[in-house]
Structures are given as C-alpha cells and as structure tokens.
Chains A and B, each alone.
Chain A
C-alpha cells in the first residue's frame, strides 16, 4: 500500500498544484519522485507531529490540499488534539495518512501498534475515515480523499499487500464494495483485514457454506444502505478488522444495529482484544495472539451458522 500511495500521490500532485505532502521524518526515498515532480510541495516537518498537523491546517486555509504522513500511531493518537481542533473543528480539507496501521509493525512493539486509532478518531465530527484494503483501494481512496471538502483519515497498511480487487471497482466515500457474493453470512471487513475475511470465506466455502464478503473502506460514515439491505436476508453478519473491538468498525456497526431496533441478523465482531501485546514477532503471530486467524474466525462463524 505504501508504494502505491507514493506513486499515486506523485501522479496526482503533477495534476493538482494544491497538493502538499508533509512528512514526519519518514519515507526518505519513498517520495523522491514527488520531490522531483512537485518542487516545494514536500516538506519534512521532523519528528514533530503536533506542529505538522497544525501546519497542514494553516496550509489548507491558504487553499492547499495538504496531507500529513507518518507512522499511524504518531499521525493520529500522538496529535489527536490537533486533528480535533485544527482539522475537524475548522473542517479543513487535510488528509491525515497513517502508515503501518493495526499490527503492521508488530516487531516494533506496542508503541508502534495502532489498534485504537479508529475508535478515537471516529468520535470526531466532520472526519471521514478511509481504510483501503489493497493497492487498488489505496489509489481510489486517495483520489476520493483529495476531492473531499473536509478532513479525511487515510489508514494504510504497510508495503507488499496483494491486490484483492479485479480491475477498478466503483469507489465512493461511504459505500462498501462487494468482494464475493454469498447468502448465509456476510463478512464486513475493513483495511488490511479484508484479505483475512476472504480467506475465511474460502475456508467455509470448502465446507459448503456461502459467505459474502464486503470491503468496507469507509468506516465513517458507515454504509447504512448496505447494513439495512442485509436485514431479513442475511442470518449472520460479522465484522473483521485489525483494530480493537472497542471503537472500530465492529463498534460502529453494533451502534448502528442497536439504533435501528429491528435488525434480525446475529452480529459477530472480530478484532484485537483490549490488552497490549507484550511480545514481538510477525504480524501473523500478533493476529494469532488476538484470535484474528482465518481458522478461528471460520470456526466461530461455523458455530453461529449451525445454530
């Protein structure tokens, strides 16, 4: 996702002189293309995320379309108040880009994990939250974010994620994208958990189950039309995300369900648990520690379907 982000941003910056990238002292070589293609529109703000976010707000008031870019934990929670006051309260068109979201940086330890960001940011008025699932969605989400008249949080994985989409889907803020049809259960997955959801569907298909998978790149605003369309037709709905069960997509869907009052599907939620991971390892190891594996999700889904 990271390389696609840099390539697409470079392309867009050549077309749109309003685009300015602010970096928190990461992506040294990554943005060489942008620096060459758009002189004066890349600025390393150093390891000073609060200031970087405020600078982006100031640039936005001058008519620019700034992006802030650094490791997710620091682009978001570190400077939460600047996002709240400078970007959201002013309703300025700034894109906050977090790279290495969720458990992407398992090996760096909990300081670099980011499983609370959506929960914290989702409470902020005016903010749109986009979590693309693959390089194709990164491109489309970035384009949409830079056209949007308000602040956007773009939650990226790391590098090397496979392309999950066939061709370019119709991407609209607030709309989910069907990845795979199915009739017995619907998995709503966001960001780098969509690949996991597809794996779960594969496993259950082998057992003769028909599982639909939706990529939900927009966590805020939720796709209420999709959630409504599942009422009366889908016995089980499950959310899957590389984010805490508190505050993320699963919480948002649960809130929506409770608010409706007439939803008849069983809702399951899969995400990270309410504890820090004290040990390091691979991303797959970290997911397993939180039960975020295709095997376990498929098992729990199978149980729910057997009822």
Chain B
C-alpha cells in the first residue's frame, strides 16, 4: 500500500509538524531542533508518498524499511509517525517525562513504526544493508531507506557499509544524506572536509542524485524511482538548511543544542502560518 498524499498536503503537514517539533522542543527541553527541521521535508515525503507501510500492521514482513540513522532527529520522526497513525498524537503529550518512551533518540522497543534504535551515529546504514540483503534472500520486493546526517559521514562504519552495499548490488537500498553543512560544533566542511560528498558515494559504487532536500517534488521524484534492475544502491545527497522553516533558526548552529522559549515558539509558529 503506497500512500499518495498530494504535494500541497505534504507542504501543509510539514509546516504543522515543524510547529509540533518546535513546541515539544521548548516544552520538553529537547535539543537538535536544527537537525529535525533540516530533514522534516524528507520525512514528510517518505511517509506521505513513498514508504509502503501500514500503521495498522507495523511489523508486516513485506513492508518497506526506514531507518533514521541520524537518531537525534527523533523528535521529527515521532511527530511524523504520529501523523501517519502509528500511535495517537496524544502519546507525545508526555514527551521526555519520567517513564516516557519519547526522548532524544528512537528507542529499540515500544514505539510502533521505529525500525531501529539509533543515536550513536554510523549504525543505521550497516543495519540497512542487512535488511536489504535479508529482503533479497527472502525474495521480498520491498525497499530500505536510511537517512543519515552529513556529520554522520565522519563515521568509518558508514563507508564500510557503503562498500558492502555496492558489492552486494543492493538496488533496493537508498541512503539519503541530510547535507545541512553543519555538525555539532562546526561546518562539516571545516571539521572533516566532506565535500565533494556526491563524488565520494559515486566512487564507492553508488548511483547518486543531488537535489534540494526541501523541494518536495524533487524528493518525491528521486525517491519514487524504480530501483529494480539498477544493480547498485542509490545515494541521495540532499542539500538542506539546518533549522529550515524558521528565519531565526535557519543556518544558525546554535539550534543544535538550544531549545526555544515560549516567545520563540510563538514567533516560529507565526512564520509557519500556524498562528495568525
């Protein structure tokens, strides 16, 4: 079952979900807001248009798999999963409270729709390689998507997995790099000189696409490409803006750790068209 939300619906939902993420960040003091906002459009397109998943049967063997390898964007993932009906939005009311399942990273157990616990970077792609390999061994015609951050590409295990994904010709595997040009303490280019990132993936044997990670139409087109017979995995290098959608958060790395005040939440909601 492939969801078919229109691009207009996705744009509207993405703004609403941004508002929810910002609100929760302020209320529960959850950081990594900039990282959540940079990948939210990709999550919206994946969950609204691409992933063949059934919230009523979240463990169906034939489903597509999605791993949020940049686990610190869990606040965005949780909102998207609630939007798609994996659990009621009311579950997120106690976000971060003692005993809550919802913290700063996706947990291994208890949250429907979460395929893998992440948070330590560089774990998602190896697991995704295993899922894609397993699907091939079982003859399951599904797809596996892994969303990474650019800072995460510092981790050697990402490139170990890139090698194996290529040699195994895992055409059902897609890696998406949220290339927002920042990592925790600086520009990703200054920390470990990631660019040219697409060339790196290409040199590792992956088909690569570069696009604007906030262009819903471009995302939908790239993500919905038929992979059958391609003979190699796909890497989408998505150029994004950290903190996208709120002018005073955009491309300001302070929002890697800062959380918004009530006034800032209101200002953000106004910019997103959620408040008059």
* Alpha-carbon gap, A62 to B122, bound state (A): 20
* Alpha-carbon gap, A239 to B168, bound state (A): 46
Q: How far is the CB of A15 from chain B (nearest CB, A)?
A: 17
* Alpha-carbon gap, A55 to B116, bound state (A): 12
CB-defined contacts of A59 to chain B, threshold 8 Å? 130-131, 133-134
Within 8 A of B (CB), among A43-69: 43, 45-46, 48, 50-64, 66
Q: Is B115 touching A48 in the complex (CB atoms < 8 A)? A: no
Within 8 A of A (CB), among B119-167: 119-120, 122-123, 125-135, 137-138, 140, 156-157, 160-161, 163-164
Given A48-B160, A61-B115, A90-B108, answer yes or no on A54-B135 (Cβ-Cβ < 8 Å). Answer: no
CB-defined contacts of B108 to chain A, threshold 8 Å? 89-91
B5 at the binding interface (Cβ < 8 Å): no
Given A41-B137, A46-B163, A50-B160, answer yes or no on A82-B131 (Cβ-Cβ < 8 Å). Answer: no
B61 at the binding interface (Cβ < 8 Å): yes
CB-defined contacts of A64 to chain B, threshold 8 Å? 134, 137
Binary A-proximity of B18-34 (CB < 8 A = 1, otherwise 0): 00000000000000000
* Alpha-carbon gap, A46 to B115, bound state (A): 26
Partner of A62, one of B109, B120, B135, B168: B135
Q: How far is the CB of B199 from chain A (nearest CB, A)?
A: 21
Q: Is A85 touching B117 in the complex (CB atoms < 8 A)? A: yes
Given A58-B126, A89-B117, answer yes or no on A51-B131 (Cβ-Cβ < 8 Å). Answer: no
Partner of A61, one of B120, B122, B134, B164: B134
Q: How far is the CB of A80 from chain B (nearest CB, A)?
A: 11
Q: How far is the CB of A81 from chain B (nearest CB, A)?
A: 6
* Alpha-carbon gap, A6 to B126, bound state (A): 25
Q: Is A54 touching B127 in the complex (CB atoms < 8 A)? A: yes
* Alpha-carbon gap, A86 to B157, bound state (A): 13
Given A61-B131, A62-B138, A89-B108, answer yes or no on A48-B164 (Cβ-Cβ < 8 Å). Answer: yes
Contact count A vs B, C-beta below 8 Å: 98
Q: How far is the CB of A4 from chain B (nearest CB, A)?
A: 26
Binary A-proximity of B177-205 (CB < 8 A = 1, otherwise 0): 00000000000000000000000000000
Partner of B116, one of A51, A63, A90: A90
* Alpha-carbon gap, A82 to B119, bound state (A): 12
Q: How far is the CB of B46 from chain A (nearest CB, A)?
A: 18
Q: How far is the CB of A14 from chain B (nearest CB, A)?
A: 16
Given A48-B163, A48-B164, A50-B122, answer yes or no on A63-B133 (Cβ-Cβ < 8 Å). Answer: no
Of all chain A residues, the one with the shortest Cβ separation from B132 is: A58
CB-defined contacts of B130 to chain A, threshold 8 Å? 54-62, 66
Q: How far is the CB of B113 from chain A (nearest CB, A)?
A: 14
Q: Is A55 touching B127 in the complex (CB atoms < 8 A)? A: yes
A40 at the binding interface (Cβ < 8 Å): yes
* Alpha-carbon gap, A89 to B118, bound state (A): 10
Given A55-B164, A61-B116, answer yes or no on A82-B134 (Cβ-Cβ < 8 Å). Answer: no
Which of B115, B119, B133 has the largest number of chain A CB atoms within 10 A? B133
Q: Is A51 touching B157 in the complex (CB atoms < 8 A)? A: yes
Partner of A50, one of B109, B134, B156: B156
Given A61-B116, A89-B117, answer yes or no on A50-B157 (Cβ-Cβ < 8 Å). Answer: yes
Tell me the A residues contacting B by CB distance below 8 Å.
Answer: 20, 40-41, 43, 45-46, 48, 50-64, 66, 81-82, 85-86, 89-91
**New contact pairs (6) apart from A48-B160, A54-B161, CB-CB < 8 Å:** A20-B137, A58-B128, A58-B131, A59-B131, A62-B131, A90-B108
Tell me the B residues contacting A by CB distance below 8 Å.
Answer: 61, 108-109, 115-117, 119-120, 122-123, 125-135, 137-138, 140, 156-157, 160-161, 163-164, 168
17 A-B residue pairs with Cβ-Cβ distance under 8 Å, sorted by A, are A40-B137, A43-B133, A50-B157, A51-B164, A55-B127, A58-B127, A58-B130, A58-B131, A58-B132, A59-B130, A59-B134, A62-B135, A63-B61, A85-B119, A86-B126, A86-B127, A89-B117
